[in-house]
Amino acid sequence: MADVFLVMLYENSPGISILVVSLCFVITVAVVLSWFGFGVPVILQSSDDGMSHLQIPERRMVQVKNPFALEINSAGSSVSGGVRLNPNCLENCLLSCYWGCTVQGFQKALRDHEQKFRISTPHQFEEAVLSDFQHSTTFFIEKGNVTEIVCKLPEGSSIKDFGTLPRARYPLVALLSLAEPEDREIYSIVASVSVIHASDDKYKMTSRILYQYLLTAQGNVFDLKQLFMSADNPISALNSELVFQDDEEKKQEENEAEMAVIGTIEEESHGTGRRDCVVCQNASINRVLLPCRHTCLCDNCAERFYQCPMCRTHVSESFALSQNERQYRDMSLDDS
């Protein structure tokens, strides 16, 4: 129909028919451009440009010094043979090991700390858990001493296991606290509590640290979370600094805010001292992606990804490892 009309028009007046076709072309182009908002269609853009429009929110963090670090030698630890612990403290510390501490008592102690009864010494912890544990030992850990401590049940103890699941008692709870009262004035983190699973005949899962909490003098309880990095460059909790969310309102809503461990000294003293971004292989890693906590991108590449390149999780927030970022500020005692 339209072609017959066009042929007739062309035969009668070629000028007008060319004008009609040109007009149709201009209208089509105008419609297409308005559809894409006068921008370049997404399919014509490079993938890099497409992702750079996304702004992943920056999580506000503060950096604090944590005087405590505790690792476990999983392979050599069990209820019968004792649990091998590697403390590494920046000050003289006390390592108190509580066997068979009740889950209920432990949760009560954390709640007490948040409410009014602050825990900064082994005695205060024992009071808060109402001495509801089966055996305890305390070791003095000298500042910087990294000797392995073997925490054992006493000879001839009747405890052989902690029963079948679900359990009412944690096999071992390790409390690290500052030995010198004056040090408690310097650090805002005054104690670290680790809940440890020790393998026994009833539950043979390898011994490991299940949870680690940091208690502050201001009555916060922080659940310590590990960052995930490539196996060539593991971050060690030793000599670590911590960053945590600086969001007072959120902190009150969810009392156990997240904390992240960042190894600093370890990185400088061993290895290449530089971890390369998994994408560009050119700049050093400086971004932690949340919620998956993969730490694999440099600042530039992180801006281009809305999905984690390691696990494909949608990135909801991110924060920088390096403390010279302007978003950071030092957290002093009078901040909180």
280 binds Zn ion (CB under 5 A): yes
Q: How far is the CB of 301 from Zn ion (least distance, A)?
A: 3
Select from 75, 76, 70 the least CA-distant residue to 97. 70
Q: How far is the CB of 228 from Zn ion (least distance, A)?
A: 7
298 binds Zn ion (CB under 5 A): yes
- Across the beta sheet with 256-263, the strand order is 61-65, 240-245, 256-263, 221-225, 208-216, 189-197, 169-178, 93-102, 135-141
Q: Which of residues 28-47 bind Zn ion (CB under 5 A)?
A: none
9 binds Zn ion (CB under 5 A): no
Candidate residues 291, 311, 316, 332; the one interacting with Zn ion per rule CB under 5 A = 311
Q: With respect to Zn ion, which residue has the nearer C-beta, 71 or 258?
A: 258
Candidate residues 294, 304, 305, 331; the one interacting with Zn ion per rule CB under 5 A = 294
What dihedral angle (degrees, nearest 10) is formed by the CA atoms of 119, 123, 129, 134?
140
274 binds Zn ion (CB under 5 A): no
Stretch that binds Zn ion, among 21-29, 113-121, 147-155, 280-288 (CB under 5 A): 280-288
The answer to whether 101 touches 128, Cβ cutoff 8 Å, is no
Structural element, H or E, at residue 28: helix 14-35
Distance (Å, whole) CA 281 – CA 275: 9
301 binds Zn ion (CB under 5 A): yes
292 binds Zn ion (CB under 5 A): yes
Q: How far is the CB of 324 from Zn ion (least distance, A)?
A: 18
310 binds Zn ion (CB under 5 A): yes
CB neighbours of residue 276 within 10 Å = 17
278 binds Zn ion (CB under 5 A): no
Residues touching Zn ion, count (CB under 5 A): 12
Distance (Å, whole) CA 276 – CA 274: 6
Q: How far is the CB of 308 from Zn ion (least distance, A)?
A: 3
The answer to whether 128 touches 113, Cβ cutoff 8 Å, is yes
Q: How far is the CB of 298 from Zn ion (least distance, A)?
A: 3
Q: Cβ neighbours of residue 212 under 8 Å, at least 6 residues apart? A: 70, 192, 193, 194, 195, 223, 224
Candidate residues 279, 306, 317, 323; the one interacting with Zn ion per rule CB under 5 A = 279
277 binds Zn ion (CB under 5 A): yes
- Across the beta sheet with 83-87, the strand order is 70-72, 83-87, 149-151
288 binds Zn ion (CB under 5 A): no
Distance (Å, whole) CA 262 – CA 323: 11
174 binds Zn ion (CB under 5 A): no
Footprint on this chain of Zn ion (rule: CB under 5 A):
277, 279-280, 283, 292, 294, 298, 301, 308, 310-311, 313
